[in-house]
Amino acid sequence: MGAAPKRNAAGLAPKSLLLNGAMPSASEQQHTLGKTAGFSGTSLHTGEKVTLKLHPAPADHGIKFKRADLQDEPTIDAKIDNLKTVERSTTIGEGSVRVHTVEHVLSALSAMGVDNAIVEMDANEPPIGDGSAQPYVDLIKKAGTAAQEAPRKFLDVREPMHIESKTGSLLILLPDDNFRISCTQAGPNNRFTQYLSTEITPAIFEREIAPARTFVFYEDVQPLMDKNLIKGGSLENAIVIRGDAVLSKEPLRFADEFVRHKILDIIGDLALVGHRIRGHVIAVKPGHGANAELARALAREQTRRSAMAAPHPFPPGEGGLASDEVMQILPHRYPFLLVDRIIGFEGETKVTGLKAVTINEPFFQGHFPGHPVMPGVLQIEAMAQVASILLFKLTKTSSRVGYFMSADGVKFRKPVFPGDTLIIQAELTKARGERLAKTMCRCLVNGAVVSEGELMFAFLNK
Ligand SMILES: [Zn+2]
């Protein structure tokens, strides 16, 4: 199953999670910059001078690039939908407007915890600096960060995902409570193979990742140099590897600087998802192309989830029951009524109900602070309530009432999170007169079974 090990399917957490489970903290609020800050430098591809300024922006604004050198100063959303090319660096654009090499500044903003900002430039590319994310980290620290009212948008990885490219890149994404990257980098003929695994926090990024510089293999850049396509490129802003020799103005900052820079690039490319990822990226020979593919897959998953979480229009007269009709049958009331409405019946023996699981459910407050999952026993209760409606229809009498007797073969397959829409199905498998009934029940989220069990009911006079 694809659940994170710390959130097992029954919604029970191991002790360590309970002890470490933090209350919602400042790190779960959106952040922007404290004030505007800027610096100037050379752009890599044109070799011209460029000034970059980071400005604060309101909550839910996201990161936008602004081309101050063009008429009307157009902006471009740093979103994967705006991705244009991934040749050597990441280019985004809207209409005919482009910004190139956005990955290092995006990496710094994302990893240093800036959710909302305007990146203003008077050229089509940020200053390359020393080829690392260090100048942007310095700039963010100069501007400072400020917490905002809105909660951060997280994308929790629930199922393993993977991307494999023809060029030999492999990216695997696994569930995790934090954002982690484990990366293996290998050059041509596996020269300079390096491996690093780390959680990404602002402190770790600043110390271990941001200073790692861009590196190039001589055989890859020679044709570009010949075509004069990297006018701003020099040993001051990139490390050049020629054969087994490492050429740079400044010695290596880390023995494994190359894999660190690959991690820097992954963070920057995945920032285009627009949500903070809680998951573990395992990357083998990553590149902008594969990184962008993964960002696209994650953005699609996010869109799918928000569509599923949206209220389902429920056409009346399709044999379902609206919430007031459900409450005429079931005695349960908030917070213990665990079915919002009945979507429909199939013959006399099948019924499907729906429960929108929102962050406001009272049980999420304590189950668990900072890691909300729906308790498994409440999923069983939801099944029992939906099954009861089926039995009520069957007996067609209000003088007898079904009591929940036993649950067999109960399995919890995946955790249920706030925002999920629980589809609850019950099917009558055995009825003995008007005394006993067996039902097979299951709960689904996004078409996948999250829990199931066989519930037995006894009918008693009221
Ligand atoms: Zn890079």
Q: What is the pLDDT of residues 343-385, one digit of tens each?
A: 888 878 888 999 999 888 889 888 888 888 999 999 999 999 9
Q: Provide the H-helix boundaries in 99-255.
A: 103-111, 134-143, 202-204, 218-226
179 Cα to the center of ligand 1, angstroms = 19
* pLDDT tens, residue by residue, 380-436: 999 999 998 888 877 765 566 678 889 999 999 889 998 889 999 999 888 877 678
Q: What's the token pair of residue 108?
A: 């710094």
Q: What burial class does residue 87 get, using C-beta atoms within 10 Å of its C-beta: 0-12 exposed, 13-18 middle, 19+ buried?
A: exposed
Q: What separation in Å is there between the alpha carbon of 89 and the centre of ligand 1?
A: 7
Taken in order of first residue, the domains within the chain and their CATH numbers are: 27-308 (3.30.230.20), 323-461 (3.10.129.10)
Q: pLDDT tens-digit profile of 268-304?
A: 999 999 999 999 999 999 999 999 999 999 998 888 8
Query: Could you tell me the distance, in angstroms and rounded to a whole number, from the CA of residue 69 to the centre of ligand 1?
Result: 24
Q: Name the pLDDT band for 86 (thresholds 50, 70, 90).
A: confident
Q: Tell me how far apart the alpha carbons of residues 407 and 180 are, in angstroms, rounded to a whole number.
A: 39
Bigger pLDDT: 87 vs 137:
137
- Residue 243, by phi and psi: left (phi above 0), alpha (psi -120 to 50) or beta? left
DSSP state of 227: T
Beta bridge partners of 353: 342, 424
* Given 162, 288, 332, 371, the catalytic residue: 288
Query: From CA 217, how far away is CA 206, in angstroms rounded?
Result: 26
Report the SS3 class of residue 200: coil
Ligand 1 centroid to residue 103 C-alpha, Å: 7
How far is Cα 121 from Cα 119, in angstroms, rounded to an integer?
Answer: 7
Instruction: Quote the percentage of the chain above a pLDDT of 90.
Output: 59
Helices of type H across 144-230: 202-204, 218-226
Is 275 one of the annotated active-site residues of the chain?
no
How much is the pLDDT for 112?
98
Distances (CA, A) of 36 to 127, 302, 351: 17, 31, 58
CA of 225 to the centre of ligand 1 (A): 18
Reported as type and span, the H/E element at residue 300 is: helix 288-309
Q: How far apart are CA 75 and CA 251, in angstroms?
A: 38
Q: At what angle do helices 288-309 and 257-270 cross, to 10 degrees?
A: 30
Segment 318-354, tens digit of pLDDT: 578 888 888 888 888 888 899 999 988 887 888 899 9
The C-alpha torsion from 30 through 421 and 279 to 28, rounded to 10°, is 20
- Reported as type and span, the H/E element at residue 305 is helix 288-309
Identify the bridge partners of residue 215 per DSSP, sorted by sequence position: 239
Annotation marks residue 162 as catalytic: no
